[in-house]
Amino acid sequence: MKKAFRAKRQRSGAVPTATERWCRLAARLVNPIALGSLAFGLSACALFDFGPPRPEDYPVKGIDVSYYQDDINWRSVVADNTAFAWLKATEGGDWYDPKFDANWYGAAMAGLPRGAYHFWYFCRPASEQVNWFLQHVPYDPYALPPVLDIEWVASKTCPGHPPREEIIPEVRTWLDAIERYYGKRPIIYTSISFYNDRLRGAFPGYFIWIASYKGHPVVRDPSLRWNFWQHTEAGRVAGIRGRVDRNVFNGSVREWQAFLEGRLVPSD
């Protein structure tokens, strides 16, 4: 989601995810004696020559947008096999995306499941960032869960990298307050490096959305648990004139429906 700063189970059912299907196939094709129990673990998947699933192998695909995408023809977006969209709403405690309202209502009118996301600013208290989001994102029981976008950025107004012990309580404050108001547990969007540096192990029970442009998440970090994968920031989708972030959901169509209905629980 990052452009430039200031610009910018228990599982329901037995259907395996694309990653799991690939890993199970890999485990059957290798000699388990040669690789030991590692052949059957997710950590072994990156060892195989034939590679992990491609983004197009996942059945549920979506986008995230901000004012960078300008005016969007949401009906064309829906027609181009797009199952969901998250829309940038706020950043820190004083910036609001000028295209949010048009995107929020336009996507809904086109029948596309959509939600709002907030870009975290490390030099604002969580309470201010909560209030700013609440001021600008309407309550809609049919919306997707809100998303917290938290990652390292190069910022002249907020330099430095706060330690984990400072970040975790503030992030928890935002997540808890947003869940109380909207009635849905937020999703955490981040990079693999930030997740490992600051978040790993701190938020069990949350869906995790990983940005990884240089390869499949399971190859870059076999131990990572993830539910959404942002695989490019230079995608093309009908109805959007320029480039757009493209994402996939790590699950089947049936699991996606369970997610929409609030019945899918992230595995830890």
**Residues designated catalytic:** 64, 151
Strands 95-96 and 84-91, sheet pairing = antiparallel
Residue 148 pairs in a beta bridge with 118, 188
| 80 CB-near residues (< 8 Å, 6+ apart) | 237, 238, 239
Q: Would you list the DSSP string of 10-56?
A: --SSSPPPHHHHHHHHHHHHS-HHHHGGGGGSGGGGGG-TT----GG
CA atoms within 13 A of residue 161's CA, in its CB half-sphere:
9
**Phi, psi of 219, deg, nearest 5:** -80, -40
Q: How far is CA 129 from the centre of its chain?
A: 19
Count the Cβ atoms, other than its own, within 10 Å of residue 126: 19
Q: How far is CA 132 from the centre of its chain?
A: 21
Strands 114-119 and 95-96, sheet pairing = unpaired
Nearest to 148 by CA among 183, 185, 193, 108: 185
Pure H helices in the chain: 18-29, 32-35, 74-79, 100-109, 126-136, 164-182, 192-194, 217-220, 253-260
